[in-house]
Amino acid sequence: MRKKSLQRFKKIIKVFAFYGFGYIFDSKISEEKKSPANLRKAFEELGPTFIKIGQILSTRTDILPEEYVRELSKLQDSVPSESFSIINHVFEQEFNKPIYEVFTYFQEKPLASASVAQVHEGILEDGREVVIKLQRPNIYEKMHLDISILMRIVRFRKEKFNEMLIDPLDVLQEILNATEKELDFKRECENVKSFRNLNSSVECTYAPYIVDEFSSSRVITMENIKGFKITDIHSIEREGYDRCDVAKKLALSYCKQIFNDGFFHGDPHPGNLLIYNNKICFIDFGLVGKLSKNLQRWLNEALLATVTKDVDKIINFIMSVGVKKGRVNRNILYEDIDYLFQNYLSTSLKNIKVSVLLKEIFEIAKRNNIQLPKELVLLIRGMVILEGVIAEIAPEMEILEVIIPFVKSKNKYYVLNKLYSDEFMLSLYNFADDTLKLPSKIVELSESLIQGRVKVNLQVDEIGKPLNQLNKMVNRLVFGIIVAAMIMGSSIIINSNTSPKIYDLPVIGITGYFVSGIFSLWLLVSIIRSGSLK
């Protein structure tokens, strides 16, 4: 380990130990001082890179308990600004020109100064008013060093993290990847352009244009939006806007981003939402969420299933989009979802928060050893922030009354669109193919039954249940197979033209159909009487 790395390593251990997390490095140390507030203080003391790491962790409710997520979300991304000479050097490295050769005006005092970059106002030679986001020098190297040290610590004391559903090394690798993406300003420029393109036909939604000529991996030059914060109620009323209309348009815009585009703003707090020229302007696209078409479809169906309290569909959603990290008991999963519906969805729409509902489903999945996609974590975070913003603008508005009609109309479009899709034609082909194979499968099953090769594998989760119920179930299953075999056999006999005949049909075949019909009716009546169809 190099001298610089060793010094930083010692510093990190010292700070974590001081705030009650020394037990990670030494099992003899007590965990009593450990607390969410102390973890936040440790991150603040360790500087800008740990503040950024903490902010990323504050979006991951699948990794940390809720109380830690809440505390880390308080981290203030505000650090002393770099001098003009330093940022001018960064600009010159990128464009081979000093700042004052490009801008007729440049405000040397930054509008904002964060751990990764600082933002200045300026005016280009053609008169366009812009803001310039400049990355701090050597920030990538500093963040990479700190994350690498954390990885060493986790490898050294991995037994301390055995109870985590997600491997901490995978978490740190994700943080490193997220950091690298956020530090590549070219990616942020592409995010802005994608958002502008997807919302070009939406009258009430806007994002600033990018000045490509003076944007790079470390600098972004973009339009300066001269608007006011969306939560500035005084300005909203002064400019003649209707608060409920603003809140509704914000909710609809976010619905479109999630359910239509699969590309949504990941940090819609008031500072990133401005009202300007009759539009809601989204700024700062360092954090965006992307959803696959499959995940979008499942989200549409899951939201409607939640409203209709369709427990089975929610379970299908969790099992389809999640990854099993251990044994999953479907019965327990059903009980957890059903309990949530009975206790949370029994109230009016006004009292239901989409973010809380998604969080609860996320927690249920975690308890049942299922890891849901990290894209949903960012979605939950975005919904939490959005609901807070809407509650501040128009507390009387019921957000679900906006979302549900949107999703219903989206689902109608999806069904109609699917009728013409390749996916539908493939499903139709597979169904037809399976149907043609059905007679041969029944014959194969009948032969296996006659030859004693049929095996019925059952898993009994609750050994205390009466064994006679299991016995009845097996008997009905075997009886049903026999009836199916009789029907198949009778069909073969009728087609074989064997004698004797009645009305030109083989007597044996007709008798087989008649007996099969009686047996089928008896089996159906016994199932209904037992209550198994309820």
For the stretch 2-44, pLDDT in tens is 777 888 888 988 888 888 877 666 655 555 567 888 888 888 8
| Model confidence, pTM | 0.69
HSE of 190, CA atoms in CB hemisphere, 13 A: 7
Mean pLDDT is lowest, of 8-22, 78-92, 353-367, 432-446, for: 432-446
Q: Span 65-92, mean pLDDT?
A: 85
How far is Cα 113 from Cα 217, in angstroms, rounded to an integer?
18
Alpha helix stretches (DSSP H) within 157-223: 168-183, 185-198
Q: Span 359-388, mean pLDDT?
A: 86
- Segment 168-220, tens digit of pLDDT: 777 788 788 878 888 899 999 999 999 999 999 999 999 999 999 999 999 99
How far is Cα 528 from Cα 510, in angstroms, rounded to an integer?
27
Which pLDDT belongs to residue 453?
A: 56
**Residue % of the chain over a pLDDT of 90:** 30
Q: Span 147-159, mean pLDDT?
A: 80
Which pLDDT belongs to residue 423?
A: 47
Q: In the predicted model, is pLDDT for residue 419 greater than 60? A: no
The mean of the pLDDT values for the chain is 81
Structure tokens at 155: 């490898």
Q: In the predicted model, is pLDDT for residue 454 greater than 60? A: no
Structure tokens at 410: 């989206």
Amino acid at 119: V
Instruction: Answer for the pair 333, 317: CB distance below 8 angstroms, yes or no.
Output: no
> Burial letters for 154-187: b for 16+ Cβ neighbours within 10 Å, e otherwise?
beeeeeeeeeeebebeebbeebbebbeebbbbee
Instruction: Answer for the pair 262, 255: CB distance below 8 angstroms, yes or no.
Output: no
Structure tokens at 397: 């508005």
How far is Cα 473 from Cα 527, in angstroms, rounded to an integer?
10
Q: Span 431-454, mean pLDDT?
A: 60
Confidence of residue 349 (pLDDT cuts 50, 70, 90): low
Residues 6+ away with beta carbon under 8 Å from 49:
115, 139, 142, 143, 145, 146, 147
How far is Cα 328 from Cα 365, in angstroms, rounded to an integer?
10
Which pLDDT belongs to residue 449?
A: 62
Total Cβ atoms within 10 A of residue 371: 16
Q: Span 358-379, mean pLDDT?
A: 86
Which pLDDT belongs to residue 108?
A: 94
More confident residue, 401 or 423: 401
Instruction: Answer for the pair 359, 69: CB distance below 8 angstroms, yes or no.
Output: no
- Segment 269-327, tens digit of pLDDT: 888 999 999 999 999 998 899 999 889 888 888 888 877 788 888 898 899 888 888 88
Mean pLDDT is lowest, of 121-130, 235-244, 431-440, for: 431-440
| DSSP for residue 210 | B
Confidence of residue 262 (pLDDT cuts 50, 70, 90): very high
The CA-CA-CA angle for residues 438, 439, 444, to 5°, reads 95
Confidence of residue 76 (pLDDT cuts 50, 70, 90): low
